[in-house]
Chains A and B, each alone.
Chain A
């Protein structure tokens, strides 16, 4: 009978140890071609994910996260939603038609309806984010069972997540690339199960989002 409390105590110690272990390492690199002078004022910014790669797509929720990070840190910045922007300029920002270089914007603005819509939106910076978060190195096993006395799981699983994103900043007024921000993050997550599985998730994508968002604020905000 004393085995059960001992098992629970062991599980508690194990969980306490693991909760401190589920950490994330992150690096951010920045290249600035044209130093930002001041914030974007009453102009707007749009953050778009690159979707033309064959084997992955930059996640829409990551783009949303970066936008939320920026607008929550400086409430004066208006970030246009990705879907709203892409829909209002359809079909010019679809994966097949989206401009790959800032010089392409000149050709796009030759079309009067596009130029008018862009003027309405008052977009100062267009930020393209390319990259993904991948899961790798999954290990461990877990068995779950159900019986007359109840249900439960026992086992242990671990996996690692790796994020790699690059943001390219286009100054829309000058139609030039003004900076690049690269962020990588990786972390190990755990899922111990003693009766109930308890996930201890490393916030890898969130850390990459915060890293890239903080750097972008230097371009967009007068307070950073």
Chain B
């Protein structure tokens, strides 16, 4: 019988080898099965149904988020099932940037999500500190993230918005570092991060029911806005590129412009006249006359405008590392729509960050730097692990065109519609925008985009300010009267340091 017993022993060995292979595939390689390396939901570790991945995050001492040397998001040890409570110390003005880390919803948003691997310590760059924790037996803690945000500018923008629905985005034009990103109104991330699930759910449903939509990050991921007259910078850039004109070129500026194929007439803002009907391009830009730019757009044609928008980054995906909704220059069917698009109406739609980038590009001599929010990542002992290197995203216009646009924008603030953005002792350039929403209630969406600095050749800040239209805006408000003062307050805080 020994031969058969021997055979059975071999059979048992084969069975156990199969088991070992199966265990290894699941535990060692995260495969759902020997014959399946991953499912549609990913591997066993990345599958969103694997709540352990999020549970495990709760147990780790998550890293900090730092702004200007101050900790704005921290983890505090608590004596409950989740071991650590996330604290949002920076106040509501940072909530859209940081996002929240919620145990109640088993989810994370904002930088908590985008920088999760650093914050929870899983990032490969933190391997050495993980290894040393393993060796010394210390508990695993995550790395920290230091933001590019300047707390004074952020605070000034938040205060200037004063709870109104809108957004301010400020950049360092020479690097692309985001100096401020505010979306208003905001919410208290601490409520959503509460370990008390009922309280968190209640807070979330209340925020969701709020018609001011405080959960949406208007700066990059809210509803897109029509840019209004701020888009004229692109229209003008296209015309300069085509060699159609120079700032001194005299153009016709009638009180109304008939739009071909429609019964509509394009009027200047509030039906005003522009000069005496024939003005220089510089004047039309500074006074934001509609009719010359409508005509300019029609002369250029839709293809040239679409090409111009794409050159400045419309339609492109961006991660800062938060995902930015791409801005849109639509396909226009007829010349009337092209004329409207040329003055930032029709269905052109942008994010405030996109328009801040437009201003920054002009300020930076035509080079558009990639925007970024994370300056440095640090290991748990606050040693620098990585530093973000600024990079050029695209160069939509040459230095000469940029200089031309810059001088026109300076003129618009010095003598034109942007005068409300003037700050004593600072050279400010900009463009206002007032986009009609077509709704019956309240005022238009108002814009100011521009740049400023003590040295006109090297502006230190570029920004975009937008206020939602509708009932919250007074009828008759304009970019100059509403958005300009906010820009002035932000520039004052930025340059005053």
Q: Do A and B come from one complex?
A: no
Which residues of chain B have a CB within 8 Å of any CB of chain A? none
Interface residues of A (CB under 8 A from B): none
